[in-house]
Amino acid sequence: MPSATGDAGSVIVSEIRRFVDKEVLPVATELEHRDEYPAALIQQMREMGLFAMTIGPAYGGLGLPFTTYAAVIEELGRGWMTLAGILNTHVIVSYILEQFGTKEQKKRWLPVMVEGEKRCAFCLTEPDAGSDVAAIKTYAVRDGDLYRLNGNKMFVSNGRRAHFYLVLCKTDREAQPPHRGMSALIVEKGTKGLVIHRDLEKLGYKGVDTVALSFDDAPVPVTNLVGDREGDGFKQVMSGLEVGRINVAARAVGLARAAFEDAIAYSFQRRAFGKPIFEHQAVHMRLADMYTRIEAARLLTRQAAEKKDRGERADLEAGVAKLFASEMCQETTLDALRVFGGYGYIKEMRAERYYRDAPMSLIGEGTSDIQKVVIARALERLYKKE
């Protein structure tokens, strides 16, 4: 079940597939069980230019379309979804900077991001504000040539190893509706008042640092305000989340594909009642359903990526792809566990890792319930007659 993309990206996707088969799969489960950051794999990803994939050639990047990006993420998700997650925040931030940053900001940060040595984290969620973005409390007050940034952020992926952070905050706490008072700031590592409090231990999605951090009167230069005016942060971040949802959908497809491929291979080998278990109707019908769902999720993800490539708003398509793919992934990894039976429940088999990783796709870049809200609002925009 190879992932598909256009001719221009087929060579790159093939290279990533070989990388996953040769370098990732032999070590992923061991690294995951140790919750170890995959430094050697990340270095190879840097050398292959993966951190430069979506950044334009004007800044030294490859300028690949999101359709190719989604196919690459699928392959990485097939090997270990953590690798796709480490790329995700970097790509979201680079996209926001390239689309909305000033010329000076693009020249300053994008060439550095291309190298992949200095990577980014994305600070949105707070202890009391997850799905309800309008409820964020982190704020920044203008003080001459600086902003004084205060607040707390939670579930910051890549938060410990990031070199700079894109932080959504309120620069006008009285604005109504609240999103009109939000801005995005770039905060560099080492800024006084930026404190990383702790790493959050997780059920799955291990190997990537997920932290809680805070800002205590942290001084941020006014020149680090993304764009040239306050109040645009919500729009910028929502556009970036469309890219993030394509990533989560693609990695869910990759993870489900890995679970399916392991399960069908096992079904040919394992014998019960005198024949391979694949030949039992209950098993081969389950596998047929798994395959069908994966194919549908891939097509939805590609549709969202294609719309993003055209520069169009893709909240509906990205929401649909993320919702369907993540729910599909959860169901498919459970079905794989059922095919394996008791063997799927032990740590020696990859099936148990797939099962623990899958719930992350239900939560990351907005829960399934939030995707339904996003979809419904887009449908209202499309179909409601004034």
CATH number of the structural domain spanning residue 128: 2.40.110.10
The verdict on 75 and 175 lying in the same domain is no
Asked if residue 170 and residue 224 are part of one domain, the reply reads: yes
Average model confidence (pLDDT) across the chain: 95
The residue-averaged pLDDT of 286-313 equals 97
The residue-averaged pLDDT of 246-260 equals 98
Instruction: Report the distance separating Cα 257 and Cα 14, nearest Å.
Output: 16
| Predicted pLDDT at 181 | 97
Whether the per-residue pLDDT at 205 is higher than 90: the answer is yes
As a whole number of angstroms, the distance between CA 297 and CA 305 comes to 12
| Token pair in block for residue 335 | 């079905």
User: Is residue 223 in a domain?
Assistant: yes
Both tokens of residue 354?
Answer: 């797939």
Q: pLDDT confidence of 272, banded at 50, 70, 90?
A: very high
pLDDT, average across residues 331-342? 97
pLDDT grade, residue 130 (50/70/90)? confident
Pair (258, 376) in one structural domain: yes
Query: How far is residue 11's CA from residue 111's CA, in Å, rounded to a whole number?
Result: 24
Q: How many residues does the chain have?
A: 386
CA dist 290 and 339 (Å) reads 11
**Total domains present in the chain:** 3
The verdict on 171 and 110 lying in the same domain is no
Q: What local confidence, expressed as pLDDT, does residue 1 receive?
A: 55
Residue 9 has pLDDT above 80, yes or no: no
What pLDDT was estimated at residue 283? 97
Residue 1 inside a domain? The answer is no
pLDDT at residue 58, as a whole number:
97
Q: Which of 23, 32, 365, 386 is catalytic?
A: 365
* Percent above pLDDT 70 for the chain: 98
pLDDT at 338: 97
Reply yes or no on whether the pLDDT at 3 is more than 90: no
The residue from 169, 197, 232 where one domain ends is 232
Distance CA 307, CA 314 (A): 6
Q: Tell me, yes or no, whether 249 lies in a domain.
A: yes
Q: Beta-strand (E) ranges in the chain? A: 120-123, 139-143, 146-157, 164-170, 182-188, 194-199, 210-221, 271-272, 275-276
214 found inside a domain: yes
Q: How confident is the model at residue 7, as a pLDDT? A: 56
Range of the domain at 204: 120-232
Q: What is the mean pLDDT of residues 154-167?
A: 96
Residues 211, 320 within the same domain: no
pLDDT in tens, 353-386: 999 999 999 999 999 999 999 999 999 999 987 6
pLDDT band, residue 126 (cuts 50/70/90): very high
My answer on whether 252 and 301 are in the same domain is yes
Domain termination site, one of 115, 134, 163? 115
Span 24-72, pLDDT tens digits: 999 999 999 999 999 999 999 999 999 999 999 999 999 999 999 999 9
What pLDDT score was predicted for residue 10? 82
Last residue of a domain, one of 115, 146, 168: 115
Is residue 188 classed as helix, strand or coil in its secondary structure?
Answer: strand
Q: What is the mean pLDDT of residues 156-163?
A: 95
From the list 360, 362, 354, 357, the residue with the least C-alpha distance to 337 is: 354
Rounded to an integer, what distance in angstroms lies between the CA atom of residue 90 and that of residue 244? 10
DSSP 344: G
pTM of the model: 0.94
Q: Is 98 annotated in the active site?
A: no
